[in-house]
Amino acid sequence: MNTDKTKSSDKVACIKSDKEATDTLVWAAVHEGIVDPTKQLIKCDFRDAGEPWNKRREFGKALRAKTPRESHADWQPAADRSDPVDIVIATNEGRQAHLIPLRMSRMAASPFTFLRGSVAIMARDLAGTPFTGVNVVMNGDAHINNFGLYGTPQRDVVLYLNDFDEVTIGPWEWDLKRLITSINVLGRENGLNRRERRLAVSGCVAGYRQKMATLQDMGVLDLWYLHNVVDRLDPKLVKVDSKSGAIIKKAVEKARKQHNASLLGKVAERAVNGAWRFKVDAPELTSVDEETKEKIIDALNVYSTTVAPERRFMLHRYHVADVAHRVVGVGSVGTRAYLVLLFGNGDHDPIFLQVKEALPPAHAPYLPALPETFAHDGLRVILGQRVLQASGDPLLGWTTIDDRPFYVRQMKNMKGSIPMEWLSGTPFNFFSRGAGILLARAHARTGDAAVIAGYCGSSDVLDEALADWAEAYGDQTVNDHKALLKAIESGWVIAR
């Protein structure tokens, strides 16, 4: 593949949909009873043995001739690069107008929050960078804060990717570059100097590269079962320093306290008539009118048909007590997101469901269209989560409200986070490397681990190249953030 700089539109033609990644999404849809298998053009062929992993690894190694690993080091904005503020403003289209100033305010808070909300800018920039043409089901927004704790159906706490709004099929390099950029930018805010940032980023890439090498010959079923319970890590496989271990322990303890019963007392109260209702906490949590509430209940009735059939036996025992609008995150501010309180076997048995609008993925303009089956963005999000997460939410589903696609998930499922914004030194490096390892594991579930491992190699060539890239794109992010601040100061962009 030609590694010379070209316009994004020229790059699109170079990206080919990866059959294995597409097959995986189709498999997930059919397996869950979501899609009629008779309408699928891509089906399993159990007579096709494929190539052995060691030959696929050699193929990956040969890709270096077309896309040298060193070529990833360079970042220079294109001469015709769009104004970053224009791109941000364009992503506000279709959002709730009264919340756009809040979104701008959250993005303006720091270069890191700007990075979190500006995936569309980075998607455009990444489309003009070198890549191998090896595709995976990519998260699309794999920044460091999108790795968090959540509970499995077995009530274990695991650390993994936990946000999938931007999921699509595309180059593995794009996810990795977004991750290392976030590490670089967050490192700046945490007071890390250039050498320290480079150490953290190169450690992340090394973790990705080395983990992919261990996965390349692993049994397929073993790979799909693979996950680590955070508070039961095997010391033979994962060496945890004392400081990082203490952080993990504290985060897990906090996550175990995050459940439906604990949330009930924080966000809801009894009305005079004894009914439960949400507490208004504007702008994060606000009430909705009766018409909206009825629309959401109707949409949940449709959603229930998209979960696994055995889960419907459980869901039909719940009823809706109240619905509220909820503002979430940074990049998602302005989208339509609702929090629904339901009760099952009495008032001691609450459950919270999030009903969140699903927008088209930011990388879509620079990639081939997904199969028509996945035109519903809510379906795209939940299939991406099912594919990429080692053990996911059993209540994932999707629905439509006012012709807008939504997905549904549990609001509190022993969820927690690692407080990266406070970390430096050894813990920062430990969790940065861990994120690289987790991203490799997610990519290996749908991509060809042997090909990617062959390309990455056993030396630190890719580590050093991407460390250069992250520092340069970190500078770009800081400059783009300044452009937003200038636009706010001039009155061009309104922030609240």
Picking from 493, 381, 384, 404, the residue whose alpha carbon sits closest to that of residue 95 is 404
**What is the rounded average pLDDT of the residues 310-335?**
94
- The pLDDT value recorded for residue 234 is 62
Say what the pLDDT of residue 27 is.
41
Q: How far apart are the first and last CA of the chain?
A: 46
pTM (global) more than 0.75:
yes
- pLDDT computed for residue 29 by the predictor: 46
Residue 15 confidence (pLDDT) above 50? no
pLDDT at 223 over 70: yes
Which pLDDT score is estimated for 8?
40
For residue 422, pLDDT beyond 90: no
Q: Give yes or no for residue 442 having a pLDDT over 80.
A: yes
> Which range among 106-115, 228-237, 367-376 shows the weakest confidence by mean pLDDT?
228-237
Which pLDDT value is given to residue 39? 42
- Identify which of 112, 411, 415, 449 has the alpha carbon closest to the alpha carbon of residue 267: 411
User: What pLDDT score does 76 carry?
Assistant: 94
Q: Please say if the pLDDT value at position 287 is more than 70.
A: yes
Each as own residue / partner, the long-range contacts of residues 16-21 (CB below 8 Å, 24 or more positions apart, any chain) are: 16/133, 16/135, 16/368, 17/135, 17/169, 17/368, 18/134, 18/135, 18/136, 18/169, 18/447, 20/446, 20/447, 20/448, 21/135, 21/136, 21/137, 21/169, 21/446, 21/447
Query: What pLDDT is attached to residue 5?
Result: 39
Distance separating alpha carbons of residues 444 and 138, to the nearest angstrom: 10
Task: Report pLDDT for 144.
Answer: 96
pLDDT at 231: 67
The pLDDT of 151-161, averaged and rounded, is 80
pLDDT of residue 43: 67
Give the separation between CA 296 and CA 89, rounded to whole angstroms: 29
- Where in the chain are the domains? 8-255+419-490, 257-410
Mean pLDDT score across all residues of the chain: 89
Q: For the chain, count helices (H), then strands (E).
A: 18, 13
- Has residue 36 got a pLDDT over 70? no
When pLDDT is cut at 50, 70 and 90, the band that residue 37 belongs to is very low
For residue 363, pLDDT over 70 is answered with: yes
What tokens does 96 get? 């709730």
Give the confidence band of 33 by pLDDT, cuts at 50, 70, 90: very low
pLDDT band at 53 (very low <50, low <70, confident <90, very high): very high
Instruction: Give whole-number Cα distances, 40 to 30, 204, 387, in Å.
Output: 9, 38, 18
Q: CA 429 to CA 432: how far, in whole Å?
A: 5
Percent of the chain whose pLDDT exceeds 90? 70
Q: In the structure, what pLDDT confidence band is assigned to residue 244 with cuts at 50, 70 and 90?
A: confident
Closest of 358, 349, 365 to residue 315, by C-alpha: 349
- The pLDDT score that the predictor gives to residue 42 is 47
Of 206, 268, 237, 273, give the one whose Cα is nearest residue 456. 206
Confidence (pLDDT) at 237: 64
Residue with tokens 């890191």: 112
Ranked by mean pLDDT, which of 16-30, 120-134, 363-377 comes out on top? 120-134
Contacts of 160 (CB under 8 A, 6+ apart): 147, 148, 150, 227, 389, 390, 438, 442
